[in-house]
Structure 1
Amino acid sequence: MESNINPSYIAGLFESTGNLSIKKDKRTKSSYYIHLVLKSKTENNLKSIKEQFGGKLIKINNRYNLILSHRKAYNLLNFIKDFLIDRKEEVEIALKLYQNRFNRKYEPERKKLILKEFLQKTVDKPKIAKEE
């Protein structure tokens, strides 16, 4: 995928304001998908990312949120994964959901292991206190 967007800029934006989660699909009740939110005070920062990767750009109060899910979130995370520092492991675990599809016999067990690994990385991660 060719891009004029700097992947290190998006990686920095993701590490500072991004929110990554894995959600259960309400329709199938057995599949999971990546849900990604990038936040910014200016619309222009997120508009170029939306043009490249898609997603939904919404304004909440005086902030803008770019919401990507499923394949769009996968493509964005795959684009920036080599430029991440603090959240690289978390992203690699989330990307595993879309890699190496197994047959149905092993799929539920594989998903459980990936979700467990993702939760351990995100829940056990120490929070950085903001100085005011």
Structure 2
Amino acid sequence: MKLRNRLVYGLFYWGPAKFLEAYQRLLKLAGKDLAASFPEGTWQFYVGYALRDDTARHTCETRGFDATLCQYDIQLSAVDRVTAWTMAAIYALRQYDDLLANEWRERVYTHTLHQVAVEYGHKDAPYY
């Protein structure tokens, strides 16, 4: 159990934290004011950015759809656009069980990270 906790801690906290620490040092060397750029703290900023509440929006968003059409110079009629959106909705409904499983897994991973952080007495444990 202890080894598993250490592996989870290393995978979810230590590795990303070291990567972000190195990135922050590069920003400092470049002359950036970190306190002004990240008023809530850098770690909180990156966690908030990575775990936004709008995850579902990214499954089928219009901006990405339109950007891809423009990128490949594809012109669609109104009927074709509605058909594409209908198929995207059907696909989302068909894959709904997998989407829910993914959501559950992400919540379990976050909860496990919190438990490990509390067990190790990390000062930022309440934020997880």
| Same fold? TM cut 0.5 | no
Of structures 1 and 2, the one with the larger relative CO (CA 8 A, separation 6+) is 2
Q: How does the TM-score come out when normalised to structure 1?
A: 0.27
Q: How does the TM-score come out when normalised to structure 2?
A: 0.28
Larger radius of gyration: 2
Higher strand share: 1
